[in-house]
Structure 1
């Protein structure tokens, strides 16, 4: 009996100008591949919204100024990572490709049913 790798959902937010760069990075790390006969790759869902933040005194913001509230058009991206190693590699690639010093992301382990 073959072992089944755990599945994880990677969710992150990124300014729209860096959307394609970050997607390319996570896909190169193995994210967005669905197992099965269809052999789908580079699969994700992205939705646009407005993010906000106020950089603190010690921040070095990519966008905005220290102490000032900033609003930015961002994309929320969701994709599948099959296997913990793929999830870890995708997060590492995301952190390198993302322009923010503090990358907003979450990783969820998906339950089998």
Structure 2
């Protein structure tokens, strides 16, 4: 089992979550569509050659973003990450995946 965490602007929160749920993410026991989310503030500076969804090249941008966490079965982590990348508006989505211990 993996824990997948990603950051997404409010405009695409539901679309990205739905893509991950459709890929099998967010299943815990007899439940599905499970996740945890919190609104925070991210920052970044687009470098030359980037195609930013938000902001301008060379300028630091501060944006409200949702941090979303959900679990993904081992055999579904690659399709889940592919679904995340395909549905996310950012050129390079920020995400982390951690393998969980089964205790």
Query: TM-score when scaled to structure 1?
Result: 0.89
Question: Match of 1:77?
Answer: 68
Q: CA RMSD in A?
A: 0.7
For residue 50 of structure 1, the aligned residue among 38, 41, 54 is 41
Question: Match of 1:29?
Answer: 23
> Separation in 1 of the partners of 2:31 and 2:96?
23
> Separation in 1 of the partners of 2:62 and 2:9?
10
Question: Match of 2:12?
Answer: 18
Query: TM-score when scaled to structure 2?
Result: 0.97
Question: Match of 1:4?
Answer: none
The SS at the match of 1:90 is: helix
> Separation in 1 of the partners of 2:63 and 2:57?
15
Structure 1: gaps (5+ residues): 1-6
The SS at the match of 1:27 is: helix
The CA deviation at 1:90 is: 0.8
Structure 2: gaps (5+ residues): none
Q: Aligned residues, how many?
A: 103
